[in-house]
Structure 1
């Protein structure tokens, strides 16, 4: 049987946010991006005529290529990658089909600058517990899978951000300029990221409530908040190195997201039957 050369929007949507998600490359021309300056969750831009520049680092990975309508640019770019042995397919219907289906899109204006290798750099307070682990999980699963995180002394977050070109989040005190990714009122930084990244889906809304309940010691918000808080405090004690703690905690949030997604789907199915 021939290998598939296309993937449907529902198939890709099912994979986004999971550890098994393919690498998503947007090869739309500048005019199309200007007309709709948003990306699929986790996608990054690459000119179609330079797609082969990516081939060495895409070896052994699954790749989905996206253009405006799923036609010549994504079909050709995916075919070029397959010449390099990369398992590349095009998104059926392209960016336009995804948008018309009402699926989530991340505004380019919300994305921090990337370094020469296309990665974002973030900085927050050391010794994370809940919000400062949940936010990196969200970023790596839905915004930039290669994002890097600096955990530093609380009083140095803003200075490190300025000196190293990093984006601060969950910093104290909150910047008076209002540009931080931080708590606002009763809502956590995770809430802010879900909203500003255009990821306001039922599973992530449910996960945001759980995170908020755990982070603000409000177990009344969600039955799962107490369990997440206990796991978070335990991981903080188990790991003395913040990056090792983040790596270990990724599976916790992966599991919660899968559970929230299946719960949301089950509820949708019940409503459809009713």
Structure 2
């Protein structure tokens, strides 16, 4: 399926295509819609969305830009009934990153970890935008968001499983991989 988002992708408009590719449409192809260079948000009536493409992260559409209803990532979660707790934990990190990028107040219940990870995604995303065009940015960022998702899955493990995790990486990593696999199979 074809999807379209605003050109010059960043944070939410990378996290949301990641979410689409991993959980909604594994064959998703993204096209990038150019918008003005005046520093303001684009006028939705002037954007040329490719015919037949599902718009995402574009103002004025169902899966639009971040607004009072949350980031685009949250809109995709709701629109496609994605109830994975790790994805909702990830949404909080994306929202924290959007808040960092825009300089808006954080959610009152935002954790320090969410703030740090969100700010890091914002800063790394800005650097990816300089280093790559939109297509390469998205492709190169997919493994980064895979890692954020795995981090969120780890935090969804039970307290006793987390408490039993070895500290030394050669032991910790296989332990966590095994715990996540057991959780995926419904054994943890």
Same structural fold, with TM-score higher than 0.5 when normalized by the shorter chain:
yes
Largest Rg, 1 or 2: 1
1:254-269 matches, cutoff 5 A: 254-267=146-159, 269=161
Cα distance change of structure 1 residues 254 and 268 upon mapping to structure 2, 3 Å threshold: farther
**Partner of residue 97, structure 1:** none
The count of corresponding residues between Structure 1 and Structure 2 is: 146
Say which structure is richer in strand: 1
Q: Deviations over 1:21-53 (max 9, x none)?
A: xxxxxxxxxxxxxxxxxxxxxxxxxxxxxxxxx
**Partner of residue 198, structure 1:** 81
Say what the alpha-carbon RMSD is for the aligned residues: 2.5
**Partner of residue 249, structure 1:** 141
Question: What is the distance in 2 between the residues matched to 1:249 and 1:219?
Answer: 26
Say which structure is richer in helix: 2
Shift of 1:199: 1.1
The equivalent position to 2:48 in structure 1, one of 160, 163, 166, is 160
**Partner of residue 27, structure 1:** none
Shift of 1:157: 6.8
Cα distance change of structure 1 residues 157 and 243 upon mapping to structure 2, 3 Å threshold: farther
1:171-182 matches, cutoff 5 A: 171-172=58-59, 174-175=60-61, 179-182=62-65
Question: What is the distance in 1 between the residues matched to 2:43 and 2:68?
Answer: 23
- Alignment of 1:233 onto 2:126: yes
Question: What is the distance in 1 between the residues matched to 2:89 and 2:83?
Answer: 10
Cα distance change of structure 1 residues 153 and 144 upon mapping to structure 2, 3 Å threshold: same
For the 8 Å contact 1:123–1:157, the answer to whether it is kept is: no
Cα distance change of structure 1 residues 187 and 149 upon mapping to structure 2, 3 Å threshold: same
Question: What is the distance in 1 between the residues matched to 2:137 and 2:154?
Answer: 26
Question: What is the distance in 2 between the residues matched to 1:147 and 1:156?
Answer: 25
Shift of 1:169: 1.3
Unpaired segments ≥5 residues, structure 2: 36-41, 163-188
**Partner of residue 126, structure 1:** 7
Unpaired segments ≥5 residues, structure 1: 1-119
The equivalent position to 1:188 in structure 2, one of 59, 71, 74, is 71
